[in-house]
Structure 1
Amino acid sequence: MKKKTYRNTPAFTLLAWGSFIFFIVLITIGLYTLKEPLMVKGYYLMGTVGIISSSFTVAKVVRDNQEDEERYKQMFKAVDEDAH
């Protein structure tokens, strides 16, 4: 039976989530203490949320494309080996 393995160590996962939460807290503090109207704060918040969500999406798409490329290479390698 194969043992389940993870690509990232628990320490790296903790670092990634820790830094994400840390910077969310910094952005929240910065927006709260900003001496601008609510409309300006909302604009900054909207832009921040957009950047965060799109960065997750881009990271997933890049990872999925790389995995697909590796899978196709393995698939065609197996077909070539069967042909010979």
Structure 2
Amino acid sequence: MKKKAYRNTPAFAFLAWGSFAFFVMLMLIGLYTLKEPLMVKGYYLMGSVGLISSAFTLSKVIRDNQEDEERYNQMFRALPEKERG
């Protein structure tokens, strides 16, 4: 049976999630201590949440496109020379 191989070490994954949580916490502390009305704080919070979620989505799309390109290239190399065009 083949052992599952991960691309990143557990330490790197911990660093990535830890830094993400740390900076989200800093952003929330900054919003909480901001001397502006609640409406302005809400605007900044919505913008920040939108930016974070779109960054996750963008990174997933880029990764998926790269994996699809690699899979296509593997399939293309496996075809006989006549079928490649």
What's the TM-score bracket when you normalise by the shorter of the two chains? over 0.9
Match of 2:46 in 1: 46
CA distance in 2, matches of 1:66, 1:19: 25
- Residue identity in the other structure for 1:43: Y
Instruction: Count the aligned residue pairs.
Output: 83
Query: Could you state the TM-score of these two structures normalised by the residue count of structure 2?
Result: 0.93
* Displacement of 1:24: 0.8
Could you list the runs of 5+ residues in structure 2 that have no partner in the other structure?
Answer: none
Match of 1:30 in 2: 30
CA distance in 2, matches of 1:60, 1:80: 32
CA distance in 2, matches of 1:42, 1:7: 38
CA distance in 2, matches of 1:12, 1:48: 24
* Displacement of 1:16: 0.4
CA RMSD of aligned residues (A): 1.4
**1:19 and 2:29 equivalent?**
no
User: Equivalent residue of 2:79, what SS?
Assistant: helix
CA distance in 2, matches of 1:21, 1:44: 18
Q: 1:82 to 1:3 in 2, by over 3 A?
A: farther
CA distance in 1, matches of 2:26, 2:62: 28
* Displacement of 1:80: 2.9
* Displacement of 1:40: 0.2
Which range moved further: 74-83 or 51-60? 74-83
CA distance in 2, matches of 1:67, 1:29: 38
- Residue identity in the other structure for 1:2: K
CA distance in 2, matches of 1:51, 1:81: 46
